[in-house]
């Protein structure tokens, strides 16, 4: 008889582990509330601040205050964390304009963060120097190459928009721009956070280049959903508890027989 109960217990445990993990939406921000969602934290790297508005369906940045003039990128970083995801799909809509000014030096980029704090995926628009027309940029752990860009050939000169899709199934991660696959690799660590960066680089006279300018950068939508990774789901816990009851009952009965 005890073999029957042990078999039932093992079957219950198997059923518990076979239950599908819940699919959840962790971030769905259309930036249409008129004020930045407090779930986002704002930090500054080499920057004194930023000038931004949230209106319509856009978070629009019109300036990033550079504290050092000519030392590094001045960055405003938005960060948001959430419960760990395994498989996921992250979608970002971005737009920008530099008023047809070749001296604009700016970027707007999205990053995904794993449970070790590493930024394992990035994609966005990048206009690093006044001699470039701007282009798409991406990096992804496990690709063997941390950068891809197509400056001057992407049609992103001065103003434009871009839809980014970063997804994972198992460990396979893919990056799509406007629905077109551009980069793929492998990364299996849980996804636990997202970051958006707005940046500018201002030149002064000693570089013998014209002073750089900043146009506008906007994020129009951030949507992230995926398969939740949890310690134990309520249904699994219930089945596990039931299995313990069954096993305990079997042990008591075996002792009674003896």
What is the structure's pLDDT at 245?
45
What is the structure's pLDDT at 247?
43
Give this prediction's pTM. 0.79
What is the structure's pLDDT at 177?
87
What is the structure's pLDDT at 18?
41
Mean pLDDT by 10 residues, the chain (258 residues): 46 45 88 96 94 95 78 90 98 85 82 96 81 75 57 59 95 92 92 96 62 86 94 47 47 48
Q: Where are the beta strands (DSSP E) in 40-156?
A: 41-45, 47-55, 58-66, 74-97, 106-114, 119-127, 135-140, 148-149
Query: Domain 21-231 belongs to what topology?
Result: Jelly Rolls (2.60.120)
Q: Which residue has the tokens 């629905």?
A: 179
Of 30, 23, 78, 60, the C-alpha closest to 194 is 78
């Amino acid at each position: 008889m005890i073999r029957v109960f042990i078999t039932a217990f093992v079957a219950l445990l198997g059923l518990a582990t076979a239950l599908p993990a819940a699919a959840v939406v962790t971030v769905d921000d259309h930036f249409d509330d008129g004020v930045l969602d407090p779930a986002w934290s704002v930090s500054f790297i080499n920057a004194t601040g930023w000038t931004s508005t949230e209106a319509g369906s856009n978070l629009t940045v019109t300036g990033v205050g550079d504290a050092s003039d000519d030392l590094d990128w001045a960055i405003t970083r938005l960060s948001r964390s959430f419960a760990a995801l395994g498989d996921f799909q992250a979608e970002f809509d971005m737009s920008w304009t530099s008023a047809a000014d070749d001296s604009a030096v700016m970027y707007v980029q999205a990053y995904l963060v794993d449970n070790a704090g590493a930024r394992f995926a990035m994609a966005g628009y990048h206009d690093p120097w006044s001699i470039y027309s701007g282009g798409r940029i991406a990096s992804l752990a496990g690709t063997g190459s941390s950068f891809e860009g197509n400056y001057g050939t992407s049609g992103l000169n001065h103003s434009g928009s871009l839809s980014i899709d970063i997804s994972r199934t198992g460990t396979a991660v893919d990056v799509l721009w406007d629905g077109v696959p551009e980069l793929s690799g492998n990364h299996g660590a849980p996804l636990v956070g997202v970051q958006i960066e707005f940046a500018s680089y201002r030149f002064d006279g000693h570089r013998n280049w014209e002073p750089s300018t900043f146009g506008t950068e906007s994020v129009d939508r951030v949507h992230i959903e995926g398969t939740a990774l949890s310690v134990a789901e309520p249904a699994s816990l219930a089945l596990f508890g039931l299995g313990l009851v069954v096993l305990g009952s079997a042990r008591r009965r075996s002792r009674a027989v003896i």
